[in-house]
Each structure stands twice: as structure tokens, then as C-alpha cells.
Structure 1
Amino acid sequence: MRQGVKDRLDPACKWRNDPGDAPPFKFRDLSITYDAGFKEFADSVKDAKKSFATKRKSDYRQPSVFGGAPAVKGVIQQVGTAKAGQHFDEGYYVYFVYEIGEAQRGEGKAVLRKGNLLITISFSGADVPGRRMRDGKPIGNATAQDAIDIVAGQAIAAVR
């Protein structure tokens, strides 16, 4: 061993894996998906309406295979600066908590229909104060709604 260089396997070395005064880990995931029918077919709007209704029914019951029924669900009249009837045709929102391997995450999901297009905006996450994911606290409904409000206008405006 070279002089002045400490061997990392030396038992005299002290290793810490404690966040101490550092802020907690904040996990955040945002996804936006677009599901479009074909404009050329007259049935595409009708199909989008059916798909929207099916998706809403499913999400109102159990939006995730890892969680139960949503804690919050409802029709969207306005999301961010976008209004129903003006910027999109119809929409709904669900908030739920799901668990994977003892780690819990909160997720808010807004699904909007604009013509033959379905726009799904999902925001999920958790705050983990220490080293273990299972000690994390899921983000709350208000946090999920705020994040969706911020991006909704741009997500809808991207559709021409």
C-alpha cells in the first residue's frame, strides 16, 4: 500500500450511510401519454369516447395493480389554465397510493379527451427521510394536482 493512501477495506476506516442533516430523498415521476385514433375514420371520435369511458370506469375502481380504489376521483372542469369545453372535451382525475415491496408512492392521474385523442398526465412520488424506501411517505393529492396543473396547458397545446 502506498504511503498516505488508506485502504478502503481497512477496518479502522469509518463509513457512514446516514443522510444526517441532508434533505430527504424526493422521488418524482411525470409522464404524459397521447393515445390517438385515426382522423380519417368517422368512428375515431366515437371510439375515443368509448375508450375514455372504459378507462375512467377502470381507474375509478382500481387505477393500479399495486393499489386499491382511489382516494380521490372526479370530473375535471379545469386543469391548470385549460378548461373543459374550450381546450378539451372531457376529463377525469384520480389520486391513489400504491405499494411495491413495502415502498409506497402517491400518484395523481388526469385523463383528458380532445376529439379523437386521449391525453394521460400522471405524476407520482414519495419523500424518503432516511435510507429505506419502505419508510417513505407518498406524495399527497395536493402535490400531484399542483404538478399536473403546471404541465396540463402545454400537454394540451401540443395537440393541433
Structure 2
Amino acid sequence: MAKSVKDKYDVACKWANDPGDAPPFRFRDLKVTYDAGFKGMTSTEQDARRSFASKRRNDYRQPSVFGGAPSVKGTIGQVGSAKAGEHFDEGYYVYYVYQVGGAKRGEGRAVLRKGNVVVTINASGADVPGRRVRDGRPLGNDAVQAMIDAVAGQVIAAVR
């Protein structure tokens, strides 16, 4: 039914959002966090180890209040061009799907410790083929890992 300005308030009219030739929506988020303590109080390496262990324990259980336990988790030996023992001291990775208001997104988190700095790289996203975000497909683990791999070398190199 074609709509005119006066039809938009007619309760008998049915509105539909047809994506037509519009491309699907692709949501992609990448966030990097460096944690070296509070301003004026730089953390020690021991503080960073405790923080890293606490983050891993919590992320292995349930990394988000909107999702359950991760479907993928493990220790990182290499991420992108950065290698454990050479470019960073220790690291872990989790991947999970979370849901907010019916919309699902896939998220991966790589947490790396280099000396007294804990670096977190979060990558998430979804592909929505139509106009409803609730119909979206969460970004898969492989795509999330590729996003993290693409930036990991530069992210770790920034820690001096």
C-alpha cells in the first residue's frame, strides 16, 4: 500500500520496512584498553599479575552480564605478529555471544600482560541482513580473531 502524508495516521494501513536493494548492516566495534594503574600511582608488575589473573577468572566464568559462559577460551601463544614471551608476558582469549533487547552480537576479548601493563582488545559485531537488528547474526569467532590479529602487533608495540 503506497503511503501518503495523510495515510500515516490511518490505523488500517500496514507499514513495512523492505530493505530492497540496500546492503545489509554490518556492525563492527574494536576497543583497546591499557591499564597501568591509577593516575599518579603506577601499578607494579605484581599488581598487573593479580589484575590479569582476576580478569581471566571472571572472563572464563561469564565475561558479560548479557551473555553466558564463553564458547571459546584459552591461553594465547601468539596474536597477530606478537608472540608470548617475546612481545608480551602472558595472555588469554575468550569468545562469547551476548544478547541485548533481542539483538545478538559476537564478542571476543584478548587480554595481554606486558610487565606492569594489562592490555585488553575487545572486538565485536553482527551482520543484519534486513532492517531489524533482532534478525542479525552474531559475528563469528574467526572474524573476531581476525580483527584482533590485525591490531595486536601495534597495540603491544605501544607499551614501552
The TM-score, its normalising length taken from structure 2, stands at: 0.87
**Partner SS state of residue 108, structure 1:** strand
Aligned to 1:3: none
Aligned to 1:68: 68
Give the counterpart of 1:9 among 5, 8, 32. 5
Equivalences for residues 1-160 of structure 1 within 5 A:
9-11=5-7, 17-37=17-37, 44-160=44-160
**Pairwise CA distance, 1:11:** 3.9
Q: Deviations over 1:117-147 (max 9, x none)?
A: 0000000010011111110000000000000
Q: Distance in 2 between matches of 1:43 and 1:131?
A: 46
Which of the pair has more CA radius of gyration? 1
Q: Which amino acid aligns with 1:104?
A: K
**Partner SS state of residue 44, structure 2:** helix
- Checking the alignment, whether the CA contact within 8 Å between 2:92 and 2:112 is kept in structure 1 is yes
- Checking the alignment, whether the CA contact within 8 Å between 2:31 and 2:123 is kept in structure 1 is yes
**Pairwise CA distance, 1:19:** 1.5
**Pairwise CA distance, 1:21:** 2.5
Q: Distance in 2 between matches of 1:16 and 1:65?
A: 33
Q: Distance in 1 between matches of 2:117 and 2:37?
A: 6
Q: Distance in 1 between matches of 2:137 and 2:150?
A: 22
Unaligned runs of 5+ in 1: 1-7
The TM-score, its normalising length taken from structure 1, stands at: 0.87
- Checking the alignment, whether the CA contact within 8 Å between 2:36 and 2:42 is kept in structure 1 is no
**Partner SS state of residue 154, structure 1:** helix
Q: Distance in 1 between matches of 2:7 and 2:60?
A: 55
Q: Distance in 1 between matches of 2:50 and 2:25?
A: 40
Q: Distance in 1 between matches of 2:94 and 2:53?
A: 14
Aligned to 1:4: none
Distance 1:42 1:119, change over 3 A: closer
Q: Which amino acid aligns with 1:70?
A: P
**Pairwise CA distance, 1:10:** 4.5
Identical-residue share of aligned pairs (%): 69
- Checking the alignment, whether the CA contact within 8 Å between 1:37 and 1:45 is kept in structure 2 is no
